[in-house]
Structure 1
């Protein structure tokens, strides 16, 4: 669902992105998985207390992950810093001591807004990311700063570049993701040819040897921005 925050910021609760109303979707800031889930809880209960226990239960324990008050506090701090970039110094997330948090009643939140349609040549941003966002959910196993979700080269396959589009910077994940891409391409008899690049978006729990959802895209990219992509989806990939 799309939410309009403070009359000027679009929050997409499906894929955890924030952008100003005059920005294009690929210019959005992508929150980390857990920060995204926390903000969604707060937005959906605008002006109402969301207890710390609720956040621990719904975000961490349901995934079988143990967390701590310190971890939650750090995510709240991260969200506040991110929101400040978009709405200024207003206190967006209010702390109720020893109880929980709520999204400020002084900041408007509107549901079901209609986003302006924006054309983009990059299927890897729109087709791949928008489709994947509806099926991806996962556990973020370490803290990182949110950033623009720009394709980042992590390796090569027979001379063709492999890019990560999950937004997670980790040498461990990069190594795992490159291996996944190569296995997926081998299984689907994909090759490296002129103007070809490969993209991967994977759940962060992939490198924990748990089932993860993975998208691998093979894109042929022409100088005039004509991109043709073939997407390969895996709903329960286990890396071993």
Structure 2
């Protein structure tokens, strides 16, 4: 199984390989125990996993004897590896005296490599500053923006003279409304209340930085915390969808925003 993490990192549970999707040469390989541990946490996303549960399922189940600090050591290794590959988000959260937690919001997975789609001539604009928002130009953030704006995940890209040609697997889009005459989609299903909040936030970002033009398509992504508390990260891109199938996007212009 291949997991996609934060639309930026791919992790293959079969052999413990993990790599940056936009830069596939940036990769690490986990040995059996950290690969097994990370797989278990990813498979149990949105669930609180206790230290005892990890010890039982990663060590005791296989007749292994863990040391007193085994869990912490391997969690630290996984976090460090994610950071080295460019993911600055705290994917594995530690809840003191409770356990570990990964939000399903940032995780997707697939059994097989899906049919890829083409995206061309992508342009990424700088991160913007609104009330309580800060500019960000770190390579990791730009990589996230580039990946989401070109509709996602799992195959390497190649550069050609004068433009970039990206090939990524198809991602499901969910329509939540319109910005003027341009349809607005998100990357994950939301409740009606959350969808309405996201539509409002997306409209504000679009009006300030990428207004609707010629019925182009908007794709917006944010966490629940951003939708309700304006904390966390949000992303909007406006793309041309010439074949009207939501499978081929070009000339994307993107804005990445984050608030603390």
The alignment's TM-score, normalised by the length of structure 1, stands at: 0.45
The alignment's TM-score, normalised by the length of structure 2, stands at: 0.42
